[in-house]
Amino acid sequence: MDVLSDAIAAMRTGRPYSSLTAADESWTMDFEPFDGARFHVVTAGRCRVVRSSEPVLTLGPGDAVLFPHGEAHILENATDEAAQILCGAYRLDQARPHPLIEDLPDVVSLPAGPDRYPGLQASIDLLRTELTEQSPGKDAVLPALLDVLLVQLIRAWFSTRSQLQDTGWCVALGDQAIARSLRAMHDDPADPWTVASLGARAGLSRAAFARRFTSLVGLPPLGYLTWWRLTTAASLLRTTDAPLSAVARRSGYGSAYAFANAFKREYGISAGAYRRQRRTDHQHISEPGRVSSL
């Protein structure tokens, strides 16, 4: 997979949740801190997003907001007429977030506009239709559409921020040289990569590549490679029955002993104990928050 897809997959646990809510003029919903990400899209009317010690954010039709780190907030109708809100939530492992997701702000606000974020708007329309209609295959389609919507929300933010920032993941993924090296590490974490070989993949000298990578990504190349190898190993432990020796090889470690030491140093728990613990740690999100009418 590509880097953004890998970043999301590395953190995802359980199935996502979505709802389409008709909100009367006194409607309000309290969202407590959440171990994951939430989004809201206003499809009719106007709503306010209220956060502690932060300015109130008002959303109109088509406006979207994403809370990548599960920050607490209140959503309420902003007019004396009915509104409609599309909400969703993704359970993410925030204990060890991918730096691409960690790089996102607490709130990602994406105002609607003519021809703005066409991929995002198309995804919203599809999800809204599925939630409104009782079509065959709905239970299979909804999780896939929610996955698409999360990607589109992050893509839209990156497309905006990459024009305003000089560093960060939104710039790194748009930098052809650095993006090539990142894809190489993600495609084959078991390869004995060096700074020189990654620089050659990027088409840069060793020194120039190391400076550019560290500046944009926030980690040196081999520091990120080690992080991704252990993240790959953790995913294999959670999702497969592969023996530890195979997990070690597939994640770039020459021996099970070296892998065991590196894994325990990073996670604070043995690989075997991690597998036993995390196999049962996939939960389904059953409700979006607490609703009240004043």
CATH number at residue 198: 1.10.10.60
**Do 38 and 143 belong together in one domain?**
yes
Is 132 found in the same domain as 43? yes
User: Would you place residue 293 in the very low, low, confident or very high pLDDT band (cuts 50, 70, 90)?
Assistant: very low
- Residue 224 is assigned to a structural domain of this protein: yes
| 121 and 212 within one domain | no
The sign one gets for the Cα dihedral 213, 232, 258, 252 is: negative
Q: Region 169-183: what's the mean pLDDT?
A: 94
DSSP 83: E
User: Is the pLDDT at 165 greater than 80, yes or no?
Assistant: no
Mean pLDDT for 20-30 is 93
Mean per-residue pLDDT of the chain: 90
Residue with tokens 């400076």: 211
pLDDT-derived band at 164 (thresholds 50, 70, 90) equals low
Among candidates 219, 210, 151, which has minimal Cα distance to 177? 210
* Per-residue CA distances from 136 to 143, 147, 168, 281, 286 (Å): 14, 19, 42, 30, 22
Q: Which of 108, 143, 165 is the last residue of a domain?
A: 165
Domains: count for the chain: 2
Residues 17, 94, single domain; the answer is yes
What is the extent of the structural domain holding 196?
175-278
Q: In terms of domains, do 64 and 139 share one?
A: yes
Q: How confident is the model at residue 217 (pLDDT cuts 50, 70, 90)?
A: very high
Residue 283 maps to a domain: no
Question: Do 13 and 159 belong together in one domain?
Answer: yes
Whether residue 143 is found in the same domain as residue 207: no
User: Does 124 have pLDDT greater than 50?
Assistant: yes
Q: Which of 56-60, 66-70, 139-143 has the lowest mean pLDDT?
A: 139-143
Tokens of 154: 């992050």
Residue 291 resides in a domain: no
Q: How far is the CA of 239 from the CAs of 144, 227, 273, in angstroms?
A: 19, 18, 14
The reply to whether 293 falls in a domain is no
Over residues 64-86, the mean pLDDT reads 95
* Residues contacting 253, CB < 8 A, separation 6+: 229, 233, 259, 262
pLDDT at 94: 82
Conformational region of residue 143, where left means phi above 0, alpha means psi within -120 to 50, and beta covers everything else: alpha
**Closest to 120 in 3D by CA, of 133, 109, 134:** 109
Per-residue pLDDT at 257 exceeds 70: yes
Tell me, yes or no, whether 18 and 149 share the same domain: yes
**For residue 96, what pLDDT band results from cuts at 50, 70 and 90?**
confident
Which residues, other chains included, contact 95 with Cβ-Cβ below 8 Å and sequence gap of 6+?
Answer: none
pLDDT at 283 over 90: no
> Is 119 within the bounds of a domain?
yes
| pLDDT > 70? residue 286 | no
pLDDT at residue 289 in the model: 55
Closest alpha carbon to 86 in 51, 138, 128, 119: 128
Residue 150: which CATH number? 2.60.120.280
Instruction: Give the model's pLDDT for residue 281.
Output: 52
Q: Indicate whether 292 belongs to any domain.
A: no
